[in-house]
Structure 1
Amino acid sequence: MIERRALERIEINQPAMLHLDRVCGIYPCMVMDFHDQGARLHSSTFHIAAFEFDLSFDGFKTTKHCHVVWRDGNICGVEFVDRSHARTLR
């Protein structure tokens, strides 16, 4: 198992959008840093109960499905997961 905290992160501070299943609309967030397995996000509009969502940098032409692994206020760490396996993580 790879220790995710040991992975080299790329600081980008880039705006992105997220979409939650069964919740109407899209919500802005800031991707603070990322690596190939996940990212650290900041958003003032996170829904407290959201543990999975789709993240997009390009207006939803492409997405990364995310699973929240930690939270601290309006900041969370997510891992990128294959959508077909996402429901088994709960």
Structure 2
Amino acid sequence: MVQPAKIIESDTGAAFGCIVDNLNMLGACLSFDTGTVAALPDKFDLTFDNCHTLWSCRVIWRDNNVERVGITWLKAA
């Protein structure tokens, strides 16, 4: 299942839209518009419900060629 989400940078509060797929208990794969992966910090919060719930995440792999990252969950923020 694919669904939209938003990344919130913990330090700056900057937000990036993304598409989440391969969502499971261990993490997910996120897809972005061009140029976002390079600017993405290693740790950030992810929300599926417009910031009502935040999930702390850590990037475990990056693919700059197709603008995708793999994440793992740290804990509910």
TM-score, scaled relative to structure 2: 0.81
Runs of 4+ more than 6 Å apart:
none
Aligned residues: percent identity? Answer: 29
Count matched residues.
73
Change (3 A) 1:82 1:72: same
CA RMSD of aligned residues (A): 1.9
Runs of 5+ unmatched residues, structure 1: 1-11, 85-90
Gaps of 5+ in 2: none
- Superposition TM-score, scaled by structure 1 size: 0.71
Q: Which has the larger radius of gyration?
A: 1
The superposition leaves residues 24-83 of structure 1 with CA deviations (integer Å, 9 ceiling, x where unpaired) of 431100002211110000112335351000001000111111000000111000000037
Instruction: Point out the structure with the larger helix share.
Output: 1
